[in-house]
């Protein structure tokens, strides 16, 4: 669900997709931004394996 949120899908639509009646649970449990984690992981992999020319 984080990817949907990051792509601009509204929290209301995400809640409907996962079967929640409202957005409280969706916001508390599912809506987390992954982009910083993905970036950090990619940067670590670049350091470990080196960037391709």
Q: Measuring CA to CA, which residue among 41, 16, 40, 15 is closest to residue 30?
A: 15
Tell me the DSSP string of 1-53. -HHHHHTT--HHHHHHHHT-SSSHHIIIII----HHHHHHHHHHHHHHH----
Q: Quick one: pLDDT at residue 51?
A: 65
8 A C-beta contact, residue 16 and residue 45: no
Q: Quick one: pLDDT at residue 3?
A: 77
- Residues 39, 28: Cα–Cα separation, whole Å: 23
- Predicted TM-score (pTM) of the model is 0.55
Per-residue pLDDT of the chain (53 residues; tens, 9 = 90+): 677 877 888 889 989 998 999 988 888 887 665 555 567 777 888 889 886 65
């Amino acid at each position: 669900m984080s990817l949907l949120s990051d792509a601009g899908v509204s929290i209301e639509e995400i809640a409907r997709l996962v079967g929640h009646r409202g957005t409280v649970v969706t916001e508390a449990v599912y809506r987390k931004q992954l982009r910083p984690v993905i970036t950090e992981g990619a940067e670590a992999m670049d350091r470990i394996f080196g960037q391709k020319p």
